[in-house]
């Protein structure tokens, strides 16, 4: 019988709180007092004169795996509560459970599956949910269960309830919309209650909506781009995680723009998902701090 793998002795602590003097000292002292070794630290203040302070610390602590609850309880009492912190600790070896929602486009979807297989993304993918059958064989090639939940204007509430049931049943910790072409309702986002990461095929805030490449072509742009953001009820308006652009010329058509866009969409989504999975993204209002 294989030994139960020890819960890791490395962890990532992320914090946001009202900025004041002594936060780094208080956290570092607490970790030192508990025998931890800080192996990476990043911090940012939105305004030293009373803004919000963000910090991300990776640390190693022998035996942490068996002492998680007491360690977190002590941190809450000694540091977090006195400093009015919002905080979380993630444990390295626990891959985050990620659902992928797709429609008919395969490029971002296959890219995520390939990066997971290559070990570039520390995730488990317990299921893929689609509103079309098109990508079933692709999912099955990677051994990922594929669920089709058809969505129509008349069944959106029932379809979303089924999507949430499937994801909650699979213990999903966050979802990725890999060119999923349905607008998620506010009820869905509230009921799912976990982060949703989207890839929008334009350099937001330009060209929101379903057909940005046609709009870009009509505008005669010289750059196209992609934006990965957290999904909010307002379409394509959530906190931006990653973006990039590609130069284009007058010789492009909407179809060649889409072809050029596929590469930048894949790269931007992978960058955003990796940052989310590694707890490097902290949300502040409708913006992000990405360490």
Catalytic residues: 236
- Diameter of the chain measured on Cα atoms: 64
Does 215 participate in binding ligand LMY7XDAE (rule CB under 6 A)? no
DSSP 8-state secondary structure symbol assigned to residue 92: T
Which C-beta is closer to ligand LMY7XDAE: that of 44 or that of 104?
A: 104
For the chain, the residue count is 291
Neighbouring-strand partners of residue 289: 282
Task: Report d(CA 194, CA 161) in Å as an integer.
Answer: 15
Which C-beta is closer to ligand LMY7XDAE: that of 116 or that of 261?
A: 261
CB-based contact 74:26 (threshold 8 Å): no
CB-based contact 237:79 (threshold 8 Å): no
CB of 90 to ligand LMY7XDAE, least distance (A): 25
CB of 227 to ligand LMY7XDAE, least distance (A): 8
Q: Closest Cα partner for 151 from 179, 181, 188?
A: 181
Residue 51 vs residues 26, 85, 119, 280, 284: alpha-carbon distances, Å: 18, 13, 38, 20, 11
Task: Report d(CA 231, CA 274) in Å as an integer.
Answer: 16
Cis peptide before 56 (omega within 30 of 0): no
Q: Which 175-204 positions form the footprint of ligand LMY7XDAE (CB under 6 A)?
A: 177, 180-184, 198, 200
Which C-beta is closer to ligand LMY7XDAE: that of 122 or that of 232?
A: 232
Does 291 participate in binding ligand LMY7XDAE (rule CB under 6 A)? no
Which C-beta is closer to ligand LMY7XDAE: that of 23 or that of 258?
A: 258
Collapsing DSSP states into helix, strand and coil, what is residue 285? coil
Binding mask 6-35 for ligand LMY7XDAE (x = CB under 6 A): ------------------------------
CB-based contact 159:150 (threshold 8 Å): yes
Does 233 participate in binding ligand LMY7XDAE (rule CB under 6 A)? yes
Binding mask 51-90 for ligand LMY7XDAE (x = CB under 6 A): ----------------------------------------
Which C-beta is closer to ligand LMY7XDAE: that of 161 or that of 183?
A: 183
DSSP 132-192: SSTTHHHHHHTT--EEE----TTTHHHHHHHHHHHHHHTT-SEEEESS--SPPPHHHHHHH
Which C-beta is closer to ligand LMY7XDAE: that of 163 or that of 198?
A: 198
* Position among 236, 252, 265, 279 found at the interface with ligand LMY7XDAE (CB under 6 A): 236
Packing angle, helices 212-219 and 254-277, rounded to 10: 130
CB of 154 to ligand LMY7XDAE, least distance (A): 12
* Position among 93, 148, 210, 223 found at the interface with ligand LMY7XDAE (CB under 6 A): 210
Residues that bind ligand LMY7XDAE (CB under 6 A): 177, 180-184, 198, 200, 209-210, 231, 233, 235-236, 238
């Amino acid at each position: 019988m294989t030994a139960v793998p020890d819960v890791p002795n490395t962890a990532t602590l992320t914090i946001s709180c009202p900025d004041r003097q002594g936060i780094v000292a208080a956290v570092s002292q607490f970790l030192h007092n508990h025998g931890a070794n800080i192996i990476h630290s990043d911090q940012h203040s939105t305004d030293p004169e009373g803004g919000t302070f963000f910090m991300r610390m990776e640390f190693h602590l022998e035996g942490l795996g068996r002492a998680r609850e007491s360690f977190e309880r002590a941190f809450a009492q000694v540091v977090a509560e006195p400093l009015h912190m919002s905080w979380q600790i993630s444990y390295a070896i626990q891959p985050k459970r990620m659902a992928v929602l797709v429609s008919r486009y395969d490029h971002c979807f296959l890219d995520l599956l390939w990066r997971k297989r290559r070990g570039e993304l520390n995730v488990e993918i317990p299921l893929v949910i689609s509103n079309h059958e098109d990508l079933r064989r692709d999912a099955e090639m990677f051994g990922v269960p594929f669920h089709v939940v058809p969505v129509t204007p008349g069944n959106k509430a029932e379809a979303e309830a089924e999507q949430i049931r499937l994801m909650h049943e699979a213990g999903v910790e966050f979802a990725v919309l890999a060119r999923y072409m349905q607008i998620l309702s506010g009820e869905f986002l509230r009921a799912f209650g976990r982060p949703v990461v989207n890839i929008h095929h334009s350099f937001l805030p330009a060209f929101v909506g379903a057909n940005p490449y046609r709009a870009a072509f009509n505008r005669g742009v010289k750059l196209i781009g992609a934006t990965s953001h957290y999904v909010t009820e307002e379409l394509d308006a959530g906190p931006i995680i990653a973006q990039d652009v590609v130069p284009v010329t007058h010789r492009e058509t909407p179809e060649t723009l889409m072809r050029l866009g596929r590469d930048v969409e894949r790269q931007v989504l992978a960058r955003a998902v990796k940052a989310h999975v590694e707890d490097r993204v902290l949300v502040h209002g409708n913006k992000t701090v990405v360490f």
